[in-house]
Structure 1
Amino acid sequence: MLKNLLLVMIGGGTGSGLRFLTYHYCSRYFVGNFPVATFICNILGCIAIGVLSGWIARTAGGDSAMKWLLVTGFCGGYTTFSAFGIENFGLLQGNNIMTAIAYIAASVCFGILAVGLGLAIAR
């Protein structure tokens, strides 16, 4: 368990650092109200989690250490949206369309409400 925790922390720290750099460079080149950096992190994170999950399953024999380091750690540190994306993709692949729709709707709606609640509590 400790080894896996350390792998997640190393990957997460690296992903978070890359997210910081993405935000830093996007703020230099993109102005306006659209959250370009977040959008870029979310899309790149989804590509990364797909590539890494497929690569680990195909070449690393589903090596759990690689999964903890790269998928849970790195992708999770870069953006949790990638986990949201791969979970929904799995639901859709498994023909669990209504579950995917419910998960998407609930995550977005309750996520926004939770932010509002958190801000209200902080006041």
Structure 2
Amino acid sequence: MFKTLLIIGLGSFCGGIFRFLLTRFVQHHFLSAFPFGTMAVNIAGCLLIGIFYGLFERGHLFNADIRLFLTVGLCGGFTTFSTFMNENFVLLREQNYLYFISYTALSVILGLTAIYAGHLIAKAL
């Protein structure tokens, strides 16, 4: 059990660092109240987990430790649903309804599209 927790923790550590760096990079290039950085991270995370699970279904990456590292650890540490919800709360509190609706709708639609694209990419490999 300790080994499993260590594998997940290492993946989460890496994912959290990648999330921080990508969020800052994107938000720095889109100076706006709209949370582009978090949205980019969540969409990228959806694409990654789609690719990983697509590869698992094809019989690649059978190792359970690698699966845990990549999905629960890396993707879990990388994606930011709690931050997404908090940012929506702030947009609502500030009565920025257009950004709230746009952010929520785009995140859900693009996230599902990215997961589907990830599966397609994995099947094409």
Q: Which TM class, normalised by the smaller chain length?
A: 0.5 to 0.7
TM-score, with length taken from structure 2: 0.60
For residues 69 and 4 of structure 1, the distance between their equivalents in structure 2, rounded to whole angstroms, comes to 9
Superposition RMSD on alpha carbons, in Å? Answer: 2.1
Aligned 8 A contact 1:56 1:66 in 2: no
Q: Aligned to 1:60, what secondary structure does the other structure show?
A: coil
CA distance in 1, matches of 2:39, 2:28: 15
Partner of 2:61: 60
User: Does the 8 Å CA contact 1:12/1:78 hold for their aligned counterparts?
Assistant: yes
Unaligned runs of 5+ in 2: 94-125
Task: Using the TM superposition, give the Cα deviation of residue 80 of structure 1 relative to its aligned residue in structure 2, in angstroms.
Answer: 4.9
**1:28, CA displacement in angstroms?**
1.8
For 2:108, the equivalent position in structure 1 comes to none
Do the aligned partners of 2:23 and 2:40 also contact (CA within 8 Å) in 1? no
- Measured after TM superposition, the shift of residue 51 of structure 1 is 0.3
Q: Secondary structure at the match of 1:41?
A: helix
Residues 1:80 and 1:55: Cα distance change in structure 2 (over 3 Å): farther
Q: How many residues align?
A: 84
- Once the two structures are superposed, what CA deviation does each residue of 1:17-74 show, in whole Å capped at 9, x if it has no partner? 000101221232111111000100110000000101121332123x321111000000
C-alpha distance in 1 between matches for 2:64 and 2:25: 33
Moved over 4 A (4+): none
Distance in 1, matches of 2:57 and 2:80, equals 20
> What is the identity, as a one-letter code, of the residue corresponding to 1:64?
A
Overall identity of the aligned pairs, in %: 35
Q: Which has the higher contact order (CA 8 A, sep 6+)?
A: 2
Q: Which amino acid aligns with 2:61?
A: A
